[in-house]
Amino acid sequence: MADEATTAPIQDRYAQQFAADLEHNRAQQQNLTRQVEEVQARLAQLQAEERWLIGIRASLPSGQPNQDTEAPTDAEQAASAGDQLPAPGAPAVEETAVPQLRAAARNDTPEPVKGENTKKKTTKTDAAPPTLGELLAGILSGHQGEPRTAGEVCDELEQQHPKRARNTPVVRSTLERLVAVGMVERTRQGRTVLYTLAHNTRPTNPASTVDDTPADQESDKAQA
């Protein structure tokens, strides 16, 4: 009996707490139910308005524009027209294409538009390759104060300019012509003939006139 008297108040307190929690739970359910009903009513109203709007749009004359296929605005038309126009200062298509087609029909090269490009191309085309005498003088200029034999100059010519390589007799003959015009000096050490660039040689020198002669080329072919 003593135990029942001690636990009874605790049970009452728990019963009251459970009753309060249950009441709060039911109140929340009623609140949420009311909100759901309001949302469903609003959704039904919107669906009804949608059906009404669709019916009104379907009853419009066929000439009226549709929302799904709106006509382009003035700004969009202007932007589209601007994309098709040529850039300011650019030549028209006919002005540039017609002369080129006519030149192609004549099997001729059309004239470039810019004179500067023409000048550059003409300079590159007209520039002649260096002569053999200029190449040999350039090799000797890299050995100032160091005389070289014709064989050594021939080896360096093959290393530095493989496409312009010549055999030793041709190189020796060209060096002798440079000696004759004062471009190169010849010395002897015993039976060895050495060549060195003359000290008074200037950038504009007669080496440009010294190149392979027909006799040298024939000797070159014979050695090959």
Q: What is the CATH number of domain 132-223?
A: 1.10.10.10
The runs of H, that is alpha helices, within the chain are 2-58, 74-84, 93-105, 115-126, 132-141, 150-160, 168-180, 214-223
For residue range 32-85, what is the model confidence (pLDDT) as tens digits? 999 999 999 999 999 999 999 999 999 888 655 555 555 566 666 666 655 555
For residue range 150-180, what is the model confidence (pLDDT) as tens digits? 999 999 999 999 999 899 999 999 999 999 9
Highest-confidence range of 6-10, 26-30, 139-143, by mean pLDDT? 26-30
pLDDT confidence of 144, banded at 50, 70, 90? confident
pLDDT for res 61: 82
pLDDT confidence of 20, banded at 50, 70, 90? very high
What percent of the chain lies above the pLDDT cut of 70? 56
pLDDT confidence of 105, banded at 50, 70, 90? low
pLDDT for res 80: 62
Q: Which residue is it, tokens 């300019």?
A: 161
pLDDT for res 68: 52
Cβ-contact 208, 133 below 8 angstroms = yes
Helix (H, G, I), strand (E, B) or coil at 90: coil
| Per-residue tokens: 199 | 């000290």
Sequence spans of domains, the chain: 1-45, 132-223
Which of left, alpha, beta for 190 (phi over 0: left; psi -120 to 50: alpha)? left
pLDDT at 193 over 70: yes
Question: Looking at residues 125-149, what average pLDDT do you find?
Answer: 86
| Per-residue tokens: 162 | 């493989």
- pTM here? 0.39
pLDDT for res 139: 92
pLDDT for res 204: 47
